[in-house]
Amino acid sequence: MKKLLISVVVVCVIAVSGWLGASIYVGRTASAIITNLSAKAGQNAAIRMTEVNHKQGLFSSVGQFEIRFNDVAVDAKSGNQMFALQVNYSVENLLLPSSSMRFQWAVKPVGKTGTEFNRLFGSEIKLTGQGKLAYGGKALSTLKLPELAMKQGKELFHLSPSSGNIAWGEKTVALQWKTDRLSLRGDDHALDINGFSFTSDIQNRARGLGTMQFAIDKFSTKQATAESIAVNVAINESNAKLELNVTPTIASLSVAGQKLSDLVLEFVVKGLDIASVDTLSAIGTDSNDFRNLTADEQTRASGALQNLVAKGFSIGLPKISAKMGTGSVKGDLLIEVTKPAGSAADKFSFAQSVKASGKLEAQGRIIDNTQKRLALMLGLATETREGLRASFQFANGSVRANGKSYDVRDNLAYFDELINAKLYPK
């Protein structure tokens, strides 16, 4: 019995020691994470992480750092940037069943401009959150921004308290954010937004693959009112090609005495060579959004653009629709870019490489008789049993619009010159 008791005690001591030792090790990894982030966001990055001050204890740590932006001006007197973000954090790294770490953080503006923001709003602007690091490596945190209100002369600004959540994995990030009201008013303008929300589910941060949605319950200005507004964005990869889909929708819109409903404008880009997109993305990051390109980066960027054109892609509006009273409008647009086999290796021809088509149909009493007669007289549309129809096709330097053909090859020389200057710089 005594030996059994001693064995149990020894096992417990070993288990507790292992638990505490593992917790201390996890704490050391927190310090390594901060160091690695600081190295990645160094002096040459567009967004930099500076003034890192991490204090590591056995089972907890505290620290702070600044996030600075290369595009922000520097104060001549102090030598500091006019605007930056200061991040303060605390971490508990004692291992628990639900998480390996718990943390709290706060972000606030600093610098001369940050101080001015705080003065205008009458209090310190601070985004805060608390969360945990799960054993699978995913970090989860709440997001909270207090109410912001400002009055300067006749200018009024109000943002209701905002909140959300963020989940960050090895390659993924998911975000939810919402606020009840945003209001901006002045002498000659008024903006009132009710029920704003943003959600995203990104499965590959490096390429931005995933979905996003912006939504507004009601949007009002002096000239217009809209309800149930949404913008859905989806970015997908398939067979080494990138596809982008952006679809804004508005359930109801009142403007200039007219009321429209069920507005949809779907925008799609298909077939982008993903290797070329990756190259351009990396060059854009390294060169401060293509503003400071080296000779090698210029060559690589031109090569990536040439490859995009050679492999082809398309841009389109597959769905255009709206209703007004008893009438409606619907249409579509497609532009295809591809370099045909046998064409010159170092020359782009708009006539040979671009095809386009589109149509717009108006049904019911969407326009009055005067507008209808004018559209027919100018050849902008043809008459149908339901209303009016405008359409066009472009191929091989020729445009066919509403039953009439036009040779426009001579008019494309200007565009060829512009495009070739970008694709094949000398």
* Res. 302: pLDDT tops 70: yes
CA–CA gap between residue 164 and residue 145 (Å, rounded): 9
Q: Is 278 exposed, middle or buried (0-12, 13-18, 19+ CB in 10 A)?
A: middle
In a domain, 38, yes or no: yes
CA–CA gap between residue 237 and residue 272 (Å, rounded): 9
Q: Name the percent of the chain lying above pLDDT 90.
A: 40
CA–CA gap between residue 309 and residue 303 (Å, rounded): 10
Structure tokens at 146: 């207090």
What is the residue-averaged pLDDT of the chain? Answer: 84
Q: Name the band, by pLDDT with cuts 50, 70 and 90, for residue 60.
A: confident
Structure tokens at 136: 């699978």
Output the pLDDT for position 371.
79
pTM for this prediction: 0.84
* Res. 15: pLDDT tops 50: no
Mean pLDDT of all residues in 271-287: 88
In a domain, 78, yes or no: yes
Give the count of domains, the chain.
1
In a domain, 215, yes or no: no
Question: How far separated are the first and last CA of the chain, in Å rounded?
Answer: 89
Expressed as residue numbers, the domain containing 6 is: 1-144
Helix (H) or strand (E) holding 191: strand 190-204
Helix (H) or strand (E) holding 281: helix 274-286
Output the pLDDT for position 21.
45
Q: Name the band, by pLDDT with cuts 50, 70 and 90, for residue 19.
A: very low
In a domain, 253, yes or no: no
In a domain, 104, yes or no: yes
Q: Name the band, by pLDDT with cuts 50, 70 and 90, for residue 114.
A: confident
DSSP per-residue letters across 91-148:
EE---BTTBSEEEEEEEEEEHHHHHHHHHHHTS---EEEEEEE-TTS-EEEEEEE--E
DSSP per-residue letters across 304-324:
HHHHHHHH-EEEEEEEEEEEE
Q: Name the band, by pLDDT with cuts 50, 70 and 90, for residue 45.
A: low
In a domain, 267, yes or no: no
Mean pLDDT of all residues in 368-388: 82
CA–CA gap between residue 39 and residue 42 (Å, rounded): 5
CA–CA gap between residue 406 and residue 394 (Å, rounded): 10
If one compares 210 and 16, the residue with the highest pLDDT of the two is 210
Q: What is the DSSP letter of 74?
A: B
> Can you give 206-234 as a three-state secondary structure string?
CCCEEEEEEEEEEEEECCEEEEEEEEEEE
If one compares 7 and 281, the residue with the highest pLDDT of the two is 281
CA–CA gap between residue 49 and residue 85 (Å, rounded): 10
Output the pLDDT for position 248.
97
Mean pLDDT of all residues in 409-422: 87
In a domain, 232, yes or no: no
Output the pLDDT for position 75.
72
In a domain, 12, yes or no: yes
**Residues 293, 282, 353: CA angle, nearest 5 degrees:** 80
